[in-house]
Structures are given as C-alpha cells and as structure tokens.
Copies of this chain bind each other. A is one copy, B any other.
Amino acid sequence: MMKLSAEERAAALKDLPAWRYDQERQAIVRQFQFADFQEAFAFMTRIALAAEKADHHPEWSNVWNKVDVALTTHSAGGLTVKDLDLAAIMDKAASA
C-alpha cells in the first residue's frame, strides 16, 4: 500500500469535501454529528464492521452525539487509498 503523493491527496480530497488533511498527523480528519448517542453509536457499529472487513481501522473518539475520526495508514507512513475508501464508506453511512 503506497502513500499518496501530495498531488494525489489533493485530487482525492475534492471527492471528500467534508474531510481535511491534518499535516501533523498525516491523516484526514472529520467530525460527524448525529441526533443523539444511539445514532452516533449505530454509525460506529456499521463502520466497525466495514473496518474489520477491510482490515483498516479508524482512530476515533466519541462524545455523546459526536464522532471525531482520523484516518491514516501507519504502515505506509501517511495517507493511502485505504483511507480514502474508508472515508467514503463513512460519508455514505452518515448520510444514509
């Protein structure tokens, strides 16, 4: 799994407008907000299954109705296609 170049990253983020690149963490980050804890955790459960299936896991935190996510690929030392894929899955799950 190859780390994306800065050009590849910029192009990919155009399709993920809700995400921003965090240079320090070498990760893409986004906050999701839901109606309440139930909705937030239902989202996390869907994503947990998808993450396990892809063998690629988010770094995330949850405070009641909010879920803060950072996606990076430690083994590649930065952002890879795996992160973009999981970000797209999350966007879809959150808007469903």
Q: Please list the residues of chain A having a beta carbon within 8 angstroms of any beta carbon in chain B.
A: 37-38, 41, 44-45, 48, 51-52, 57, 59-64
Q: How many copies does the complex hold?
A: 2
B52 pairs with A63, CB closer than 8 A: no
A57 pairs with B37, CB closer than 8 A: yes
Residues of B contacting A51 with CB < 8 Å? Answer: 37
Give the residue name and chain of the B residue nearest to A63 (CB): B59
Bound state CA distance, A41 and B51, in angstroms? Answer: 11
B38 pairs with A52, CB closer than 8 A: yes
Bound state CA distance, A45 and B64, in angstroms? Answer: 14
Query: What are some 16 contacts across the A-B interface (CB < 8 A)?
Result: A37-B48, A37-B51, A37-B52, A37-B57, A41-B45, A41-B48, A41-B52, A44-B44, A45-B45, A57-B63, A57-B64, A59-B62, A60-B61, A60-B62, A61-B61, A61-B62
Residues of B contacting A48 with CB < 8 Å? Answer: 37, 41
Bound state CA distance, A44 and B59, in angstroms? Answer: 14
